[in-house]
Amino acid sequence: MNISQTNKSLRPNDIFSIDDKMYMSLVGCDKFACINKKTDEIEFLKDNANGIHAYSYVSIGASEKYVVFCPMHGEKIAVFDTSTKEMMYIDLAKPLFKRKEAYRSTIKFKQAYVKDKMMFMFGYFYPAIICINLNSLEITYVKDWIDKVEQYILDGDDKGYFGDGIYEDGDYLTIPFGCCGALLKFNTVTFESEIVELNGVCAGFSSMLIDENYIWLQGRREEYGNIYRWNRLDETIIKIDAIENFDDTKDHFLPAWSMYEFDKELWLIPRVAKGIYKINRENMTVESVFKDVELQVGFNEYEEKITTFMSKQFKGKVVFTSIEGFIYILDLELQSIQKKEYTLSDNEYKNVLKNIFKYGIVLEYQQGLKDFLNYIV
C-alpha cells in the first residue's frame, strides 16, 4: 500500500456499533465516520470542529438519540444528533488539577464505558469522572475519588489517573489506576467509589482484566510490560515477564492494549509491540500467534513508536486498527483473523488534506511528498 492509499483509509481510534450503524472517531482526519453495516460502506462523514489530531476523540458511546465522542485532545465533548444529523459540542468544566505535575490538556480522557444508557468518561489527566445520560445529555462530574487516591501517588509521578480495562459487576465498574498500585470500584447508580489496594504488585497499571478467579494486570514504571496474575482468594501474585517490545520503549505506558479473554486464554493486542500474543491462563505459558500478520511500525502525534491505534472487543471478536489503515477482526473462538479497509473518495480525501495543511500538521504516517504535491498543484 502506497502512502497516498494509506492516507485515504479510515483509521479509527474507536468504534461503537449500534443497530445497523458503526460509528468511528478517526486518526489524523477532521471527520467522524458512520458505516452502514448492511451495505458495509461509508454512509456519511461529519466534521470534527476540534481540528486534526491523532487522538482528538478516543472513545464513543451511543443511544438511539445521540452519539457521544469522548475527548482526548478535543476541547469539548462532541455529540452527533441522530435525528437532525448535526454535530454539537458540550463545554467541559474548567479542571481543578491537584497533582504536583502540570495538567495536560492534550490527554484529558483515554476511555469511556457505556452502561444502561449512561456513558462514564474516566479522566486521564482531567480530574473527574464524567457521567453523561445518553438520552438527555445531562452531565454529572464526580470528583470525590481524587482525594482518596492522591495519598497513594508517588512524588514526581507523571502518569495519568487510569489505565485501560473496565470490569462490570452489577451496579459496579472496576478500573485500574495508572498512577498507583490500586483499583477504583465505582457505583454507577450512586456515583460512590472506593479504593481497592493491590499491595506488592507495582506502582500503577496500564491495563486490567478480571475473571472468576484472578485479576490480570499489565504493569508500568519499573514493571513495564510485565503481566501479573493476582489471586482474588488468597492474594498471591504470579508474574510473567514483559512481552516482546522495542529496545527504546522500555518505559512505555502501553506496550499492549487491553487484555481480552476467551476460554482458557488471555489475548494481548499490541500497541508498540510488533506481534499478537496469547497467554494460557492455567499454565501461564506465552505464545506468539498470527506471525504472518506484519504490522508496520510508525509514529503517533507524540513521536512514539506504535503499530496500532486501538483495539476493542465485540462479543467473541476483537477489532484493532493498524497505522497503515487496515481494520483487523480477530475471531477468538475460531482463532482466525481477517482484515478490511474503508477508503475515502478522491474528493473527500482532498477536503481532508486541505484541512490537514491548514492546521499545519504534517506527520510521516499522515502525508507524503506525493500528497503534498497533489494538493498544491
pLDDT of residue 84: 96
Burial of 181 (0-12, 13-18, 19+ CB in 10 A): buried
Give me the residues of the chain with pLDDT under 70, please.
1-7, 51-52, 54, 97-102, 154-158, 200, 221-224, 244-254, 300-303, 353-377
pLDDT of residue 245: 57
Model pLDDT for residues 316-333, shown as the tens digit of each residue: 999 999 988 899 999 999
Tell me which CATH code domain 11-338 carries: 2.130.10.10
DSSP annotation of 359: H
Amino acid letter, 76: K
212 C-beta neighbours (distance < 10 Å), count: 5
Point out which residues pair with 280 in neighbouring strands: 265
pLDDT of residue 324: 83
Buried-state track 119-134, b at ≥16 Cβ within 10 A, e below 16 = bbbbbbbbbbbbbbbb
pLDDT of residue 165: 93
The helix or strand, by DSSP H or E, that contains position 146, with its residue range, turns out to be helix 144-150
How far from each other are the two terminal CA atoms of the chain, in whole angstroms? 23
Domain boundaries, the chain: 11-338
C-alpha–C-alpha distance, residues 219 and 228, integer Å? 7
pLDDT of residue 43: 94
pLDDT of residue 362: 41
Helix axes 346-359, 369-376, angle to 10 degrees: 100
pLDDT of residue 361: 40
pLDDT of residue 271: 85
Distances (CA, A) of 151 to 99, 100, 147, 179, 197: 11, 12, 7, 11, 12
Compute the radius of gyration of the chain from its Cα atoms.
Answer: 20
C-alpha–C-alpha distance, residues 314 and 15, integer Å? 10
